[in-house]
Copies of this chain bind each other. A is one copy, B any other.
Amino acid sequence: MADSNTIRLRVFSLNCWGVRYLSKHCLQRYAMIGELLSREEHDIVLLQEVWSEKDFLCLKRKLSSTHPHSHYFKSGVIGSGLATFSRHRIHDAFLYRYSLNGYPYMAQHGDWFGGKAVGMVILNIGRLTAHVYVTHLHAEYCREKDSYLPHRVVQAWELQQFIRHTSSGADLVILAGDLNLHPQDLGNRLLRTYTGLRDSYTETAKFDGCEDGITLIADNPFINPKELCPFEKGIRIDYILYKGSGRVSIQCESLSTTKGSVPDHPFPYSDHEALSAELQLQTLTQQAGGDETRGMQDCAAGKLAELVDIVTEARTEVKVGLYCAERMRYTAARTGVMGLALLLLELAIAAVPWLALGADQPFPQASFYLLGVLCFAILITTFLLYIFYTMEVKALQGAEDQMRLAVGSLQERLRGFPLAQPLNPLRRPPDGQDPCPLEPEE
């Protein structure tokens, strides 16, 4: 590392809670966020829940001198809510929409309409190529009985796949966002173990922020502490993750979070706390140590076995979701058939006096039409639900198939590890950023 040079990179992440007309003090908070960003001049700013493009454009104008490059990811009905600002030129942008994201009829949760996705921008920092990802996974509304768990697991699975497959050419990888996952949640372990991404909170040399790094805190005035129960103080669900490559070694120098209030302002920036990480990039001479050696260690047999366990756990969760989705589809089909039977019965009864001329109409006309409308409503609703659940079933089956394939491949690699030599280096580590590529030992 004698001839390496050092770059400092400051990364910012915040879930802005930017639902116009619904989120409290939305415009004032955006103004505060704009002030903060133009003052702090982070290299990369990754925002979530910027639901209105107008707010993005407003921020863009405000940050035009400090952050000349930006991208707003559009998706779904009201957008993905993902936005990025950068002091370094953005050369390419790509969006991956998760195949599952809640249910359209759960309008009170609203996640489905958000078109949740992971956005990637590629930017050049000096001579280095950085692949920067921003995402926002489905919220957890009830930890005890979390009906969205399979959806979130599939999202975490697709997120790790997207990062793993699109980051091979990167010198460094950064992922930030509201993962809606606790540090040891299945999705989080899956993501970190498979991609080799490191958590800035656990890796940082210096930390200044809320206790235990929590980012959804009970002291935040926009939060109902009851909703955090049983976590009295709060939970850590927002992250800045990173990894280097054979060409770059990364250290997290410091990490800070906001603490639920902003000096000289009556309320905080958002219902989430903002994260701000300072990373130190050290370009390595070819074949040098650092992340590369770490990559080899990561891929030791123990790590592989852990990964097999995690993917198997995820597969079980997806299977549970699949069982529920199939049951719901069956219920929709059965209700639809009952609606159809009712409609036919009604028509049959109404047809009696028409066939036997002169007999009295047994139905009052108003009831006849109302019942007809009800039957039609049932038929249409159950048809739409059947279509929706079929798509859910397909998506869950697809994820499960991929997981089965991955477990098989990992187990095959594991068999290639001699017991006495757990740190057997992988083929081509120096120019592969992924410490655990799905390639067998040779």
Contact = CB atoms under 8 A, between A and B. Distances in A.
Interface of A: 71-77, 79, 89-97, 99, 115, 120, 122, 124, 127, 129, 161-162, 165-166, 168-169, 365-366, 369-370, 373, 376, 380, 387, 390-391, 394-395, 397-398, 401-402, 405-406, 409, 412, 427, 431-432, 434, 437-440, 442
B127 A405 contact: no
11 contacts: A71-B401, A91-B405, A94-B162, A95-B402, A120-B165, A122-B439, A124-B440, A168-B168, A365-B369, A369-B373, A373-B373
A92 B169 CA distance: 18
A387 B165 CA distance: 32
B91 A440 contact: yes
Given A166-B166, A391-B77, A398 B91 contact: no
Chain A interface main SS type: mixed
Contacts of A122: 438-439
Nearest to A98: B97
A405 to B, nearest CB: 6
A341 B1 CA distance: 74
Given A365-B365, A366-B369, A398-B73, A90 B391 contact: no
B405 A92 contact: yes
B394 A438 contact: no
A285 to B, nearest CB: 15
A222 B391 CA distance: 30
B74 A401 contact: yes
Nearest to A113: B387
Contacts of A409: 89, 91-92
Contact of A75 (B76, B99, B168): B99
A375 to B, nearest CB: 12
Given A74-B398, A369-B370, 17 more contacts: A71-B401, A77-B391, A89-B409, A91-B405, A92-B402, A92-B438, A93-B401, A94-B161, A94-B162, A97-B97, A115-B394, A127-B427, A129-B439, A166-B168, A169-B437, A365-B369, A369-B373
Contacts of A432: 169
Contacts of A71: 401, 405
B398 A90 contact: no
Contacts of A376: 373
A67 to B, nearest CB: 15
Nearest to A92: B438
Nearest to A399: B74
Which of A71, A74, A161 has the most B CB atoms < 10 Å from its CB? A74
B405 A90 contact: yes
Contact of A369 (B169, B369, B401, B427): B369
A390 B168 CA distance: 34
A151 to B, nearest CB: 16
Contacts of A168: 166, 168-169
A20 to B, nearest CB: 16
B390 A74 contact: no
A127 B369 contact: no
B387 A94 contact: no
Nearest to A431: B431
Contacts of A412: 89
Contacts of A99: 75, 95, 97
Nearest to A376: B373
A57 to B, nearest CB: 12
Nearest to A434: B169
Nearest to A90: B405
A7 to B, nearest CB: 15
A94 B402 contact: yes
A394 B74 contact: yes
A373 B375 CA distance: 12
A220 B115 CA distance: 42
